[in-house]
Amino acid sequence: MPVVQGSYYIFVELTNSVGSFLLRLNQGQCHLLSVTTVTMELFIHYDGKIMPANTPVVPAASRGFRYADGLFETLRVVKGRLVLRDLHFGRLFHGLSVLKFQPGPHFTAAKLESDILRLCDKMSFTASARIRLNITRGPGGLYDPESHHPHVVIEAWPLELPRQLNENGLVVDIYEEARKHYDVLANLKSNNYLPYVLAALHVKENRLNDCLLLNTEGRICDATIANVFWVKDGSIYTPPLTEGGIAGVMRQFLLQETAAGPHPIQEAPLTPELLATADELFLTNAIQGIKWVGQLRDTRYGNTMAAALYQQYILPLWA
């Protein structure tokens, strides 16, 4: 960070992975003089090969394109390590079994992990990265797929580590137009993501941070990209998976880790009316860990329990 002091001004140059920024400081004021950005070439990993990210890889006959026939995982890599690796791959291979894929003997968690890390190395994502692992069945019609072998697309982006709980609480709403029901597909991280797509559009249109989704019984099952937890009188709760939410890996991690502690997380149905009386509301996923909610419509929440959980369980994951 070079600093040059002139007669009346101090010039400071800051450099990071995004680019260089030239600042001028004078009597307590800071002026941005110039920005020089760094263009990063992105790559993807497709069926064993690394190629430029703009390479077209999905054929028109893909069942993933035609029927959303597939699954995806969103993971965080920290210093060459897949955070919650076993939970991610456990969910993925369970989903492949439910959807009747036939992976074959060489399609393993170890191979997927190696491919993910090789892609990160290609783009020098050494500190932290966000990974999207997408699996589809490949080309074919509804009744006649060419095979049941999984086709794999891996994408990666640099991502800073959250070193503390979000300072400002999220502002959320409840999306009521598309509702989830419980069946064999409800807990999968399926490529058919339409209820969450519509809820996310509602978030953007109304300048919110997230939305909670309802099931067909009018109870809350999860959020657009997270599972839901609430605190009442010192106890922590989350909806059971039978309510229709996605089986989040961070949700599973927290259930396991808190089981023997002073605040074990309990599973219970959640209604909008119950949330209006809660002390805290927070969301979890594999990328952000925990984010606390400050407001849902006219109800405001604290974050004492969420902050304690973040310090005890989430920060060690990023180490």
Lowest model confidence (mean pLDDT) among 25-34, 108-117, 118-127, 256-265: 25-34
Q: What is the CATH number of domain 170-318?
A: 3.20.10.10
Q: Determine the pLDDT at residue 163.
A: 87
Host H or E run for residue 46: strand 43-46
Mean pLDDT of the chain: 92
**Region 54-58 average pLDDT:** 92
Mean per-residue pLDDT for 103-122? Answer: 96
Predicted pLDDT at 145? 87
Type of residue at 275: L
Least confident of 39-48, 86-95, 108-117, 266-275: 39-48
Residues 146-167 have a mean pLDDT of: 94
At the top level of CATH, which class does the domain 43-158 belong to?
alpha beta
Which residues on adjacent β-strands are paired with residue 132? 74, 155
Distance CA 280, CA 262 (A): 17
Confidence of residue 40 (pLDDT cuts 50, 70, 90): confident
CA distance 83 to 72: 16
Residue 192 to residue 69: CA distance in whole angstroms: 8
pLDDT in tens, 11-30: 666 665 555 666 666 666 76
pLDDT of 4 reads 46
Mean pLDDT (whole number) for 149-168: 94
Least reliable range by pLDDT among 23-32, 36-45, 255-264: 23-32
pLDDT 10s digits, 164-198: 999 999 999 999 999 999 999 999 999 999 999 99
User: What is the model's pLDDT at position 19?
Assistant: 58
Identify the pLDDT of residue 156.
97
Residue 12 confidence (pLDDT): 64
CA distances 195 to 67, 79, 280, Å, are 16, 34, 25
Please give the Cα distance from 165 to 307 (Å, whole number): 6
pLDDT band at 42 (very low <50, low <70, confident <90, very high): very high
Please list, in sequence order, all residues whose beta carbon lies within 8 angstroms of the beta carbon of residue 269, skipping any fewer than 6 positions away: 219, 239, 240, 243
270 pLDDT more than 60: yes
Mind listing the pLDDT tens digit for each residue in 202-237?
999 999 999 999 999 999 999 999 999 999 999 999
pLDDT at position 58:
87
pLDDT of residue 32: 66
b/e per residue 17-26 (b: at least 16 CB within 10 A): eeeebebbee
Q: Where does CATH 3.30.470.10 sit in the chain?
A: 43-158
Specify the pLDDT at position 24: 63
Tell me what pLDDT residue 18 has: 52
pLDDT at 31: 64
Task: Give CATH 3.20.10.10 domain extents, the chain.
Answer: 170-318
Mean pLDDT (whole number) for 233-252:
98
Pairing of strands 70-78, 49-52: unpaired
Please give the Cα distance from 135 to 89 (Å, whole number). 12
